[in-house]
Amino acid sequence: MRRNILLLFFLFFSMPGLILAESGENLWLRYDKVSDNVFDDYSVLETLYVEGNSPVIGVARNELINAIKGMTSVDLDLSKKVSGSSILLGVGLNEKIDVQGLEEGLESCGPEGYVIRRVGKDKETQVVITANTDAGVLYGTFAFIRMMQNEEDISAINVVETPKYELRLLNHWDNLDGTVERGYAGHSIWWNREKDFNDLRDHYQIYARANASVGINGTVLNNVNAAPEVLTDEYLEQVVRIADLLRPYNIKVYLSVNFSSPAVIGGLEDSDPLRDEVREWWKDKVEEIYEEIPDFGGFLVKANSEGQPGPQDYGRTHADGANMLAEALEPYDGIVMWRAFVYAPSGDDRAKQAYTEFVPLDGKFHENVIVQVKNGPIDFQPREPFSPVFGAMDETSLMIEFQITQEYLGFSNHLAYLATMQKETFESDTYAKGPGSTVAKATDGSLFSQKHTAIAGVANIGRDVNWTGHHFAQANWYAYGRLAWDHTLRADDIGKEWLGMTFSNEDAFVEPSLNIMMRSREAVVNYMTPLGLHHLMGWSHHHGPEPWTEIEGARPDWLPKYYHNASEDGIGFDRSESGSNAVVQYEEPLASIYNNPKTCPENLILWFHHLPWDYTMSSGLSLWDELCYHYYDGVEEVRLMQKKWDRMQGLIDDERFEHVRHKLKIQSREAEWWRDACLLYFQTFSGMPIPAELERPVHDLEELKKIKFDMTHHN
């Protein structure tokens, strides 16, 4: 009887067309069966020859075996010699086999790049995955698996790749109490866990595999608003365990540190970076860390910003503070990532402060200091111009910082594919060395001779089963990693990869879902902050619209009114020569382009200009009408996303389908909330009607002002 039940169970779950429920826990590493039309070409690979036995090579070997088993049901036989139809994996394979062009490929792929070649025919075909280091072999292995997951033609593979950035990091804004600042997928995966570390090992390995699969090679474990206690024995013991687990995946650990640590936990009188006692404290602490973690990456520092301590507290410069830490780390090849996100109370434009404080220090930082610059000059807004710091510091290593977690883009409730935003920044021309001096080239070492090239992404990862709170938010983690490896990749190609690996390769699913993704970020910009508007969010939660907010005693640049300047005369922030003159921080011809409202890109026009409500836009519409149409277009886009997604029912598992449908309902409702709140409030200044052909607002302004946003449902 029991045998018959098991047989029926097997037959039921083997039925063609049956789609089992999925939680999203395995991210894009699901390794589903490939379709029949590619099965034969993939399954012909029957044996695996591995050169080397390091932990990193072991990870690559096991990942490849499990992936091919999942996709083809083939159990790879491990072979001690090169023979038959096989996969060859390891460093130095050019010395084992004679393959034309292999040596040249290895010469060009650097320390972490790889070569993948397929040679031979029929039953004597080999796929060669090789590199100059074990790390390169690991990345080549995941690249080959990705090709199979996307059912690419592997009959004539000839791939040579090397990463564009040397250091490709996640920044976790995780607090030691287990909370996550601007995190919307539950509590920290690292801190304040109820379970024993060993019980979490499998969970952490999914994290490690996911990062290795896209080439991320470093992770900062704690919040930039760092607690000094992270450097005490209690927490360093946890850091050691994490480092040991991540090391076989070629991932180094880094820590955010509080600049006042010598005084707070070291018992010193102060933390003045030019005092010998303070410098010795940091050297001793660094030595202590490296005794336990020989490959520790270094420190991330947020200093003299938003109330955080820093060298300016003692009349010192950012370079003084960064160089003190750099000297402590230099004997161990550690680095300092010093954030340029700085602003303090002043009468000047907040958008100018990073440039004002850091550009004069160009050339004064030690070689193992990297200045970490946010993609825009304010704070991860739905749309910003690129930071003018990029291209302005040619003697300092600069590190571009993106936000993966959607602090200002609807949290994990809104579908917003951020690869399009990142590409917009990468491809922006700084003109630092004439046309073609893009932000990407200004940071990847191709424009300036930087000691280090690096990129950071503020992680959106938490303890939610699907890791990111929204199944489509996984795409932003994946896309960040892919662009950190190669910023020339297309956002739509990355999206298509992710959809195929995460959900389905069927065109009926991929094409409409990709269309949703590619249009999503612009939809969010339109229903939140179109035409260059910015920081209209509630000053504390950064989620809902609060353009009217007034808080007694609060700094002006914490409040939306500072940025939109709405009045009867018009709206926008004047950063032209007649205003704050922020335009002068950009190279020509950009400075002149941004300075003139007739040449300024209209998607940034209210970022750089305060204009009257009846200003005529390029469409012929008044600024007020143009603003209205953008807000309404954003809402309509989300409704269209809903309709397209509803047609995906039955093409993927019901569990994830319903999750996304529920999130889109929330997004649609909140898009209307944004539209109505902003337009009804701005209308009190413009005195102009909403165009008659648009639907009437569904909310009342006074009722909208009473909404108190509750973050609990996001965690």
Q: Which residues pair with 298 in a beta bridge?
A: 254, 335
Which 3-state string (H, E, C) describes 437-471? Answer: CEHHHHHCCCCCCCCCCEEEEECCCCCCCCCCCCH
Are 206 and 25 in contact by the 8 Å Cβ rule? The answer is: yes
Per DSSP, the three-state class of 233 is: helix
**336: enclosing H helix or E strand:** strand 335-339
Residues 6+ apart with CB under 8 A from 708: none
Residue 37, Cβ density class (10 Å: 0-12 exposed, 13-18 middle, ≥19 buried): exposed
Classify 410 in phi/psi space as left (phi over 0), alpha (psi -120 to 50) or beta: left
Are 76 and 48 in contact by the 8 Å Cβ rule? The answer is: yes
Per DSSP, the three-state class of 385 is: coil
| Residue of 277, 280, 291, 306 marked active site | 306
Q: How many CA atoms lie within 13 A of 179 on its CB side?
A: 9
Of 168, 206, 137, 30, the residue nearest 479 (C-alpha): 168
Q: Compute φ and ψ for 87, nearest 5 degrees.
A: -110, 130
Catalytic site residue 379?
Answer: yes
CB count within 10 Å of CB 281 equals: 20
Catalytic site residue 407?
Answer: yes
Residue the block writes with tokens 């779950």: 13
Of 635, 567, 626, 579, the residue nearest 607 (C-alpha): 579
Which 3-state string (H, E, C) describes 550-581? Answer: CCCCCCHHHCHHHHHCCECCEECCCCCCCCCC
| Residue of 51, 379, 492, 655 marked active site | 379
Parallel, antiparallel or unpaired: strands 298-301 and 252-256: parallel
Taking the C-alpha atoms of residue 447 and residue 587, their distance in angstroms, rounded to an integer, is 15
Classify 110 in phi/psi space as left (phi over 0), alpha (psi -120 to 50) or beta: left
Taking the C-alpha atoms of residue 230 and residue 99, their distance in angstroms, rounded to an integer, is 50
Per DSSP, the three-state class of 689 is: coil
Gyration radius (Cα) of the chain, Å: 26
Q: Residue 289 corresponds to which tokens in the numbers above?
A: 């860390």
Q: Residue 593 corresponds to which tokens in the numbers above?
A: 């382009």
Taking the C-alpha atoms of residue 308 and residue 321, their distance in angstroms, rounded to an integer, is 13
Residues 6+ apart with CB under 8 A from 245: 201, 204, 205, 208
Parallel, antiparallel or unpaired: strands 397-403 and 454-458: parallel
Taking the C-alpha atoms of residue 10 and residue 17, their distance in angstroms, rounded to an integer, is 15
Beta strands in 69-155 (DSSP E): 77-79, 86-91, 114-119, 126-131
Taking the C-alpha atoms of residue 300 and residue 257, their distance in angstroms, rounded to an integer, is 6
| Residue of 174, 320, 407, 670 marked active site | 407
Catalytic site residue 427?
Answer: no
Taking the C-alpha atoms of residue 361 and residue 537, their distance in angstroms, rounded to an integer, is 33
Per DSSP, the three-state class of 359 is: helix
Q: Which residues pair with 167 in a beta bridge?
A: 454
- Of how many residues is the chain composed? 715
Q: Compute φ and ψ for 236, nearest 5 degrees.
A: -65, -30
Taking the C-alpha atoms of residue 48 and residue 663, their distance in angstroms, rounded to an integer, is 44
DSSP string, 667-680: HHHHHHHHHHHHHH
Q: Residue 35 corresponds to which tokens in the numbers above?
A: 């379709």
Residues catalogued as catalytic: 306, 379, 407
